[in-house]
Structure formats: C-alpha cells, structure tokens
Amino acid sequence: MTTTPPKKPFALRIEPALHAALERSAAADLRSVNAQIEVLLREALARRGVKVAAPEQRTRGRPPKESGDAQD
C-alpha cells in the first residue's frame, strides 16, 4: 500500500462574494470548495502553459480486507 504525501495547508483570504461563487460552483460539480479551487487553479495554469504533475489518484471506498480477517 502506498501512502500519499499530505496536502500542504494554505490559508487563503478571499472576498465573501467570490467564496459564495466557489461554493455554488463546487456544489454543482459535487466537490468541496477546496477541491474546486484546486481544479480551477490547475485549469488556469494549464491555459498559461505551466505544467503541474497530475494529482495522485486516491482509492475510493473501504480498504480491502487483509487476508485472514474473514470471520465466517
């Protein structure tokens, strides 16, 4: 199992109207505001030709059971 490095915390101060717009956009895309900001930043950087490594894909759902854990 590989562990993903922790995300870097970053305080961001933005105007309330901009935050509200981000909340609406995130809700429409079924994302958190934080995830939406990351997506928008990646899109903006790509338009400017700045290369950023693709985010590491996280597995979804419950982790697989370890062998020998079954209780039948």
For helices 33-47 and 16-28, angle between their N-to-C axes, nearest 10 degrees: 90
Looking at per-residue pLDDT, the higher value among 71 and 26 belongs to: 26
Q: What is the tens place of the pLDDT at every residue in 17-57?
A: 999 999 999 999 999 999 999 999 999 999 999 998 887 77
Range of the domain at 31: 16-47
Residue 58 lies in a domain: no
Overall domain count for the chain: 1
**Are the beta carbons of 42 and 52 closer than 8 angstroms?**
yes
Tokens of 1: 């199992």
Residue 32 lies in a domain: yes
Residue 59 lies in a domain: no
